[in-house]
């Protein structure tokens, strides 16, 4: 079995828990997720099975969209509602105009420090392991992340519901904490739902219960997406059957072995097909100004 599942992860499960559950249901060992989702968050978690695990990194690099809730005036050590409250401030003086202005400042490229209660590793140790051991003075390096869009959906007293689309590696908990700090009253993330991850949307997701039921009915593959599904932004190229062996062995396929030709750029990655079968990802190379193709990642 090879393909990608769009799992709707429930709260209370780690991404690794979901992988373990899928392994148990499918009886397949080669299963992997495409980037962790907080245990206390729910939402879209693409799971790669079999040969599709080779494409997990490309899904991980895609932008994500979340629905989140920021609660102002209450700060926690984990930056979410499951942590220990470390500070409280009155928010009655904060008006909606100030809230909108604060959110506006976090659009585009921003510098963000991940929370100490996270799975990031420092010297082989996960940050949350260090935090639980009482080592809270760890020097966590800030990182550049990109907030493509952030829109306030509702404001009710000290709670702000918002939707954000962002780059990989963005911590919504840190975003909530930073906006609270910008307003001078602190804050934490009180709710998080991931609604999309690259091509995978919550509308076409499946629960673990639904997937297990399909397994019991011998109909597992109804929920599997093809391996090439997340590569919708890649151009396609078809190779001749006679060129298949050369491509699969990592050799250069010259123009005479190519069928469909578009306007490609040198070193551009493309989806490669042979008789409508997805073979893998290739890299366009120009040799003496003539187009050629070399395998980049195989799914044979």
Among all residues, which ones are annotated catalytic? 38
Q: Which residues have a Cβ under 8 Å from the Cβ of 139 and sit 6 or more positions away?
A: none
Q: Which residues have a Cβ under 8 Å from the Cβ of 130 and sit 6 or more positions away?
A: 116, 122, 136, 138
> What is the CB neighbour count within 10 angstroms for residue 284?
20
Q: What is the dihedral of CA 227, 231, 237, 240, to 10 degrees?
A: -10
Residue 209 and residue 32: Cα distance in Å, rounded? 19
Helix 15-26 to helix 208-216 angle (10° resolution) is 10
Apex CA 149: angle with CA 119 and CA 82, to 5°?
35
195's enclosing H/E stretch is strand 187-197
Please tell me the total number of residues recorded for the chain in this structure.
Answer: 300
Q: Which residues have a Cβ under 8 Å from the Cβ of 32 and sit 6 or more positions away?
A: 19, 47, 48, 53, 56
């Amino acid at each position: 079995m090879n393909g990608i599942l769009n799992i709707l992860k429930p709260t209370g499960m780690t991404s690794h828990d979901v992988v373990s559950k899928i392994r148990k249901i499918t009886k397949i060992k080669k299963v992997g997720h495409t980037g962790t989702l907080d245990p206390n968050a729910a939402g879209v978690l693409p799971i790669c099975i079999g040969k599709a695990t080779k494409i997990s990194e490309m899904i991980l690099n895609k932008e994500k969209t979340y629905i989140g809730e920021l609660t102002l005036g209450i700060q926690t050590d984990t930056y979410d509602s499951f942590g220990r409250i470390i500070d409280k401030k009155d928010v009655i003086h904060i008006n909606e105009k100030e809230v909108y202005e604060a959110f506006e400042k976090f659009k585009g490229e921003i510098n963000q420090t991940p929370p100490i209660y996270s799975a990031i590793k420092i010297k082989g140790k996960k940050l949350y392991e260090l935090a639980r051991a009482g080592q809270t003075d760890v020097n966590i390096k800030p990182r550049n992340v990109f907030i493509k869009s952030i829109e306030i959906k509702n404001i009710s007293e000290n709670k702000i519901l918002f939707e954000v689309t962002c780059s990989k590696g963005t911590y919504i908990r840190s975003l909530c904490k930073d906006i609270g700090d910008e307003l001078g009253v602190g804050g934490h993330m009180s709710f998080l739902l991931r609604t999309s991850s690259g091509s995978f949307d919550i509308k076409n997701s499946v629960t673990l219960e639904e997937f297990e039921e399909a397994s019991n009915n011998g109909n597992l593959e109804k929920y599997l997406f093809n391996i090439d599904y997340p590569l919708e932004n890649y151009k396609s190229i078809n190779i001749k059957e006679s060129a298949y062996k050369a491509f699969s062995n990592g050799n250069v396929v010259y123009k005479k072995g190519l069928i469909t030709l578009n306007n490609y750029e040198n070193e551009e990655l493309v989806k490669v097909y042979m008789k409508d079968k997805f073979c893998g990802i290739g890299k366009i190379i120009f040799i003496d100004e003539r187009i050629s193709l070399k395998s980049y990642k195989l799914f044979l």
